[in-house]
Structure formats: C-alpha cells, structure tokens
Structure 1
C-alpha cells in the first residue's frame, strides 16, 4: 500500500515509521527540509514542498496513493490537503488530523475527509474509558459511513454475563466488531459468551449510543 503523509512533525514521522514497519510504501512530505535532517525517517521517500499546492501534489503522483494522511499541525492545511486529495486526485481514503477540537465539525466529507482523528478527543476518550463502565465512549468518527467507533465496558453485574453474542439484541445499525478481554482480541463469533469486564468495540451511528449503553446495563 502506498501512503502519502503530509506533515513530518512528531506525529507525521511516527505515523510514517509505523507504516514502514508494516511493510507499506510511505511518501513523507513537509515544507521544512530541516525536519528531515534533524530526524530522518529511514525507508520513506522524503520530499520538501507545500502539500497544499496542487502542482506539488501532482509531481508526487498522489493519484497513485492508496491513502493520504493529512498530519500537519495546522487544521487549515489538513483540510486543504484532504480536499485536494479527494477532488483532484480521487484518492480513495483520506485520514486527517484535528489539532483543535473546535474545528472537528469541519472534518467531514465536504472537505474530503473519510476519517478525522482528534488527539484531544482520543485522550479524553481514554480518560472516560478508564472511569466509565457501561457508558458508550466514542473513540473515533468514521465520516464517510456516518458512524462512530465506540467502546463499551461491561460492568461486573452485567446481565449479559454468560450470554452468547447471538443471544444479545444490539441496536439497529450497530455492529459488534471485537471483544477485548484480558489483553486478548476476540472475534465476536455467534457462540462466544460475554464476561464481566469485557470491552466491546462497536461501530454505530451517534443516535443509538444511548440505546447501546442500555443494552449493556439492562440486557
């Protein structure tokens, strides 16, 4: 898979290294050449230029990328990169970093964003997840599908304990994608029983989050 990462700051370089470790082809770009000199990312194709400029993206061959990641520290730049990637180069998947939570509402399909990742929101979600049992905690918004990745932790007295997946009625349009249990990732096969303390990862639209919590708490 070929991935273009716009922004070679700490976040962009970290993303690039993780992708390289996974065997992907990474094109890492930044306006400031000094970031590559101070901390080079071995294995990535490094380019200096403005990812908000159409001509520069064209020279990179962005139309051949499978994914574009807009990871700069400037929300305006990330929106422009996302829009150009989608409208001018027909990139099938665009992931954008949200630096300021107040701008999160902008990061949707209107600006060509498929997945918006807000670092502040993720941190808040992790805090909420640590203290919330039975509540639906939103981890990530999947813009193109109009749904969210949600975490729900089963309480100790959950009515779902011992019941298999196929005996639990989740809200309409909600899909259980994984069960996290004791450091394990469990595929939710129909006959897998729930246990207290299970963390459920569910993809669901916002309007059913309350109903999802009620299923966990009341069965």
Structure 2
C-alpha cells in the first residue's frame, strides 16, 4: 500500500515509521525545511513542498496512493489537502487529523474526509470505555458518520449473560466484531456464550445504538449516549 502523509512533524513521522515498519510505501510532504528529516526515516520518500498546491500533489504522484493522510497542525491545511486528494486525484481513502475540537464538524465527506481523527474525542472515548460498565461508548466513527465502532462492557444483570452468541439477533445492521475477555480479544464464536464483564465491540449505525444498549443493558437504556 502506498500512503502519502501531509505534515512531517512529530505526528506525521510517527505515523510514517509505523507504516514503514508494516511494509508500506510512505511519502512525507512538508513545506517547512526544518521538518524534512530524511535521515530519521530513510525508507520513506520525502518532499519539500506545499501539500495544498495541486502541482505538489501531482509531483508527489498522489493519484497512485491508496491512502492520503493529512496530519499537519493546521486544520485548514488538513481540510484542503483532503479535499484535493479526494476530488482532484480520486484517492480511495483520506484520513485527516483534527487539531481543534470546534472544527470537527467540518471534517466530513463535503471536504473529502473519509476518516477524521480527533485526539480529544479518542482520549475521552477511551476514558469512558475504561470506567463504564453497561454504557454504550462510541469509540470511532467511519465514513462520515454512517457507521461507528462502539463498545459495551456487559453488566452482570444483562439478560444476554449466558446466552449463546449464535442465538442472539442484533438490531438492524449491527455486527459484533470482537469480544475482549480477560484482556484478550477473540472473534465471536457462534457456539460460545457471553459472560459478565465481556467487552463487546460492534460496528453499528447510530439509528440502532439505542436499541442495542436496551438489549444488552436494559437498566441503562435511559442513560444519555456517551
């Protein structure tokens, strides 16, 4: 997979290092000469240029990229880069960093953003996930809000405790993707049963989140969505 990253600061370089380690081709773009530190990651390509310019993206061959990541510290730059990558070069997937929570509402398909990553939201979700039992917690939203990764820790009083996974019918288009038990993730086994304390990870659309919460944790069905 070929990935372009706009922004070669600490965040961009960290992402690049992880991707390179996993065997992907990475191109880092930054207009600040001080950010071009090719010696720190010689396996990656480096380009000193403005990622908001069409000519830069053409030179970078961004149309050959599978993913374009906008990871600068400027939300305006991240939005423009994502929009150009998606509309002018038809990059299949764009990921944009949200620096300021007040701008999060802009990071959607209208600006060419497939996936927005907001550090404050992620940290908040992880805190809630760590301390909440019986509450449905939205961890990550995909594709401009059409579906989300949600988590619920099964409380002891849940009617689903002891139920065979294969006998449970989830609401609408909800999909159970993983069960975390005793710190270990496992794929759902239709012949297995749910236990109190299981962390259940679902992909679900917002329309069915409340119904899912009522099914798994009825006593919390009137609690506000987190």
Report the TM-score when normalising by structure 1.
0.94
Q: Which moved more, 1:205-214 or 1:117-126?
A: 205-214
CA distance in 2, matches of 1:92, 1:38: 27
3-state DSSP of counterpart to 1:89: coil
CA distance in 1, matches of 2:21, 2:156: 38
1:203 aligns with 2:203: yes
3-state DSSP of counterpart to 1:129: helix
Partner deviation per Cα, 1:133-192 (whole Å, 9 max, x = no partner): 111111111125711111111123332222122222221121111111222221113222
Give the superposition deviation at 1:83. Answer: 0.5
Partner deviation per Cα, 1:25-54 (whole Å, 9 max, x = no partner): 011111112123397223111111111111
Please list every run of 5 or more consecutive structure 2 residues that lacks an aligned counterpart in the other structure. 220-226
Give the superposition deviation at 1:87. Answer: 0.5
CA distance in 2, matches of 1:114, 1:37: 28
CA distance in 1, matches of 2:183, 2:204: 24
Q: Which moved more, 1:55-64 or 1:11-20?
A: 11-20
Give the superposition deviation at 1:114. Answer: 0.9
Change (3 A) 1:29 1:20: same
1:124 aligns with 2:120: no
Correspondence for 1:171: 171
3-state DSSP of counterpart to 1:110: helix
Say whether the 8 Å CA contact 1:28–1:45 is kept in structure 2: yes
1:14 aligns with 2:25: no
Say whether the 8 Å CA contact 1:116–1:140 is kept in structure 2: no
Say whether the 8 Å CA contact 1:176–1:202 is kept in structure 2: yes
CA distance in 2, matches of 1:10, 1:209: 36
Report the TM-score when normalising by structure 2.
0.91
Q: Which moved more, 1:191-200 or 1:66-75?
A: 191-200
Q: Which moved more, 1:201-210 or 1:85-94?
A: 201-210
Say whether the 8 Å CA contact 2:7–2:30 is kept in structure 1: yes
Give the superposition deviation at 1:205. Answer: 1.3
